[in-house]
A and B are shown apart, each in its own frame.
Chain A
């Protein structure tokens, strides 16, 4: 897996490659790994293999997004390549959305924190508006630390003791 991107090996012009994919693969992975065959658009070719378990997961995702028409027949040992492409593109879109969301949140947070910090440390803000500093901090402390609760059971959870070990 480590070398499925970036390596450039000169292999036979008529190479036939086995290319394995999994439920975690995205379209980019397929395109990058298939392009190890630099003459794929000429006489080189690939056969893709996936496991039964992963095909089931791929099929479920395709049904969830596109409906029953995209179901992959689990009893057929050969899968339509277009369905695999659709799965990989969908999986890539989902992963992109996740990293985009995380990145945008990550980019926004320092800007908000900077404003909050400037206000909290301003020498004039609390004098002019007579805001109670500690009350203000209470409202924004989530930006500086993860609130974990004030009481032991809020911080660490409630221990579960089997009923036969109860002591009265």
Chain B
């Protein structure tokens, strides 16, 4: 169970005698977030038609990403980068990673919803077993 809200069609298929099985990962995630108390930053809304780099700069400016060495991922649930070319986002992330960052490759979904990995300027299909996760970020 993913926690996805049901809709008009799926609701009718529920069997009233069947107990829903709650997701254990949701509880675990909420607990981890609660303990970690993530920072919530407010940024100016990206203007329509604004260059992707400006949007990304606004998203990442002043954040801890520019000062720490940990690898970066972007999870765009809010749709800030909706309509952008994912590969361009990934190029920006790699170009702007801190100099001493451990990050050297980023996994992303291409326009055909296939997982790709960019590293050393090359894009190639992502293969789980062959990927060194200690070098990977994701978008």
A residues touching B (Cβ–Cβ < 8 Å)? 1-7, 9-22, 25-26, 28-37, 40-41, 45-55, 74, 76-81, 84-85, 92, 95-96, 99-100, 102-103, 106-107
**B residues within 8 A CB of A74?**
42
**B residues within 8 A CB of A15?**
70-73, 137-138
Contact with A along B100-138 (1 / 0, CB 8 A): 001100010100010100000000001010010111111
Q: How far is the CA of A130 from the CA of B51 in the complex (A)?
A: 74
Q: Does B19 contact A (CB under 8 A)?
A: no
Whether B26 and A17, one on each chain, are in contact in the complex, defined by CB atoms closer than 8 angstroms, is no
Q: Does B18 contact A (CB under 8 A)?
A: no
- Asked if A4 meets B70 with Cβ closer than 8 Å, knowing A45-B38, A49-B59, the reply is no
Q: How far is the CA of A103 from the CA of B81 in the complex (A)?
A: 33
Whether A12 and B71, one on each chain, are in contact in the complex, defined by CB atoms closer than 8 angstroms, is yes
Whether A33 and B31, one on each chain, are in contact in the complex, defined by CB atoms closer than 8 angstroms, is no
State the majority secondary structure of interface residues on B: mixed
B residues touching A (Cβ–Cβ < 8 Å)? 2-8, 11-12, 25-26, 28-46, 59-60, 63-65, 68, 70-82, 102-103, 107, 109, 113, 115, 126, 128, 131, 133-138
Not counting A15-B138, A31-B25, A47-B63, a sample of 7 additional A-B residue pairs whose C-beta atoms are within 8 angstroms of each other reads A1-B77, A10-B133, A11-B107, A17-B75, A31-B26, A35-B28, A50-B40
- Chain B residue with Cβ nearest A80: B40
State the majority secondary structure of interface residues on A: mixed
**B residues within 8 A CB of A26?**
5
Whether A40 and B36, one on each chain, are in contact in the complex, defined by CB atoms closer than 8 angstroms, is yes
Determine which residue in A2, A11, A52, A85 has the highest number of CB atoms from chain B within 10 A of its CB, and name it.
A11
**A residues within 8 A CB of B6?**
99, 103
- Chain A residue with Cβ nearest B23: A31
Determine which residue in A9, A15, A52, A85 has the highest number of CB atoms from chain B within 10 A of its CB, and name it.
A9
**A residues within 8 A CB of B32?**
34, 40-41
Q: How far is the CA of A48 from the CA of B11 in the complex (A)?
A: 32
Shortest CB–CB separation between residue B48 and chain A, in angstroms?
A: 13
Determine which residue in A6, A40, A46, A49 has the highest number of CB atoms from chain B within 10 A of its CB, and name it.
A49
Q: How far is the CA of A78 from the CA of B39 in the complex (A)?
A: 7
**B residues within 8 A CB of A3?**
109, 113
Whether A16 and B72, one on each chain, are in contact in the complex, defined by CB atoms closer than 8 angstroms, is yes
Whether B71 and A99, one on each chain, are in contact in the complex, defined by CB atoms closer than 8 angstroms, is no
Q: How far is the CA of A29 from the CA of B6 in the complex (A)?
A: 14
Whether A77 and B75, one on each chain, are in contact in the complex, defined by CB atoms closer than 8 angstroms, is no
Shortest CB–CB separation between residue A67 and chain B, in angstroms?
A: 21
- Chain A residue with Cβ nearest B103: A12
Q: How far is the CA of A70 from the CA of B71 in the complex (A)?
A: 34
Whether B41 and A2, one on each chain, are in contact in the complex, defined by CB atoms closer than 8 angstroms, is no
Shortest CB–CB separation between residue B77 and chain A, in angstroms?
A: 4
